[in-house]
Amino acid sequence: MTDAVLLNLYKSTGELTHLGELFARYKALVYGVCLKYLKNRDDAKDATMQVFEKLIQSLRQHEVENFKSWLYVTTRNYCLMQLRAKRVNSLKNFRPSLWKTSCCCIRNTSQRWKLT
């Protein structure tokens, strides 16, 4: 069966077996995209499962013409959101007082910059 047929069957019946077949077809693609962005195998495995869990709801809300392309973009966006969330959390833990103790002075001495 084609992706379009499986999508239509899933939308009309709600049976996860149709979505499971799409998962079997594209899990390597999703895992590869997750690994590319997240750079950690365990995080990529978790993200792969979370993307497919997200699809259960998303596919009912969106009209998808090219499933593979749509899945790639959805996966990429999911990974980027994960990276953004990690960055925000790391910035919350940032303390400006650390800069005061660890920065060094720079001065220009005879046209060359030197660290002091």
Q: Is the dihedral of CA 55, 61, 67, 70 positive or negative?
A: negative
Report the chain's C-alpha Rg in angstroms: 23
Question: What pTM value is reported for the model?
Answer: 0.74
Q: Where are the domains of the chain?
A: 3-115
Residue of higher predicted confidence among 115 and 33 = 33
Q: Determine the Cα–Cα distance for residues 55 and 58; give it in Å rounded to an integer.
A: 5
Q: What is the pLDDT of residues 3-31, one digit of tens each?
A: 999 999 999 999 999 999 999 999 999 99
Name the CATH architecture for the domain at 3-115.
Orthogonal Bundle (1.10)
Q: What is the pLDDT of residues 26-42, one digit of tens each?
A: 999 999 999 999 999 99
CB atoms closer than 10 angstroms to residue 90? 9
pLDDT at 43: 96
pLDDT at 106: 55
pLDDT at 60: 86
